[in-house]
Amino acid sequence: MTAVSLRGVTKQYGTVHALDNISLDIASGELLALLGPSGCGKTTLLRSVAGLVHPDSGAIEIGGRDVSGVATRERPIGMVFQSYALFPNMTVRENIAFPLSVRRRPEAEIRRRVDDLLDLVRLVPQADRYPNEISGGQAQRCALGRALAPAPDVLLLDEPLSALDALVRGRLRDEIRRVQQLVKTTALYVTHDQSEAMAIADRVAVMNHGRIEQLAVPAELYEEPSTSFAATFVGSRNAVELAVVDGRIALAEAFSVPAPVGAAERAIAFFRPEDVTVAAGPGAKGQPATVELKVYLGATTKMHLAIPVEGGTARLYADLPSRDAASIDQGAEVRIVVDPAHIRAFPVPD
């Protein structure tokens, strides 16, 4: 069942298309992440659903009801802000109770509901503290509790983790996911962090220039990016631009794959560092390369490789298990091979 439905939503600021004819369906109970660089329109999209931004055209339905002319305060939504936006003059408990008390629910019901929510977001010990007396992670959990208080049809999260430090971020991300699955709410989650999006979302919509480039489950997005932007933005990839020769593209002896459809002269090949095989020693096969820099990262070691090609040097990364990399020194001459099955190639627009 569709919980939120967007049809041809468009928003322009001056000459900038913040949202360019966006259509999107979010299934009930689904967590959909909007992923993209800053300025891609993901926040504008979220704020349009909230009614804080008014699209120039298009329709937004929540729970089957067109909300285009509906004020924010009358939409069945909950929202978690990047900066928490907790009311400073209210305690954690009062913040969570706020949406219920402005709706004039009976005191007893409010108390019961808030107690449940405090428990849900694990803030019972902090219930009577003020926002400036709790940590960032606690503040964001409080914001989550407040957003969920009126049992909204859709929960909107605007980069909820970006103001937190790395350690708290991972934990809180899993926390949000746990709570969302527990209360089975539909959620729209904006982030610019691809690993966060992959970790938390049922589906990810990659946005760029106000358009959705790809909408897919995380694994598909990772393995099979459908556009060159999605390939660059998701996962760290090597990108090599190559000339099309006889319908194929090749990086010397490292790989050779058929050119993508539509590529007349040049194409760009993407492959992940872990798919680059590096071998040293006399028996090794493949393209000769030089190890310019070796970076030890614990379980893996990242190698910066330089490959002489006509007209210059191509540079790419390879990730090796550190045990295998131990025998290869910085400066060594090695040979590399890339498995063609893991290469995604896209035409270079002229």
Residues near another protein (CB under 8 A):
13, 16, 18, 37-44, 47, 50-52, 71-75, 77-79, 81, 83-90, 98-99, 102-103, 130-136, 139, 146-147, 149-150, 156, 163, 192
| CB closer to another protein out of 13 and 296 | 13
Of 342, 216, 230, 229, nearest to 277 by C-alpha is 342
- Give the type of residue at 198: M
Q: Is 252 left (phi over 0), alpha (psi -120 to 50) or beta?
A: left
Q: Minimum distance from CB of 154 to another protein (Å)?
A: 11
Structure tokens at 84: 């928490």
C-beta of 135: minimal distance to another protein in Å? 7
Stated as kind and residue range, the H or E segment containing 42 is helix 42-50
Instruction: Say how far apart CA 187 and CA 28 lie, in whole Å.
Output: 9
As measured in angstroms, the least distance from the Cβ of 314 to another protein is 33
The residue (of 42 and 113) whose beta carbon lies closer to another protein is 42
Q: Which is nearer to another protein, 141 or 344 (CB)?
A: 141
Which of 149, 345 has the CB closer to another protein?
Answer: 149
CB 12 within 8 A of CB 22: no
Note whether 48 and 57 are within 8 A (CB).
Answer: no
Q: Cα(317)–Cα(321) distance, rounded to whole angstroms?
A: 13
Q: Which is nearer to another protein, 20 or 275 (CB)?
A: 20
Q: How far is the CB of 210 from another protein (least distance, A)?
A: 10
Which residue from 326, 296, 292 is spatially nearest to 308, judged by alpha carbons?
Answer: 292
Three-state DSSP class for residue 228:
helix
Question: How far apart are CB 200 and another protein at their closest, in Å?
Answer: 19
Q: How far is the CB of 181 from another protein (least distance, A)?
A: 22
Task: Supply the DSSP symbol for 137.
Answer: H
Give the residue with the Cβ less far from another protein, 162 or 226.
162
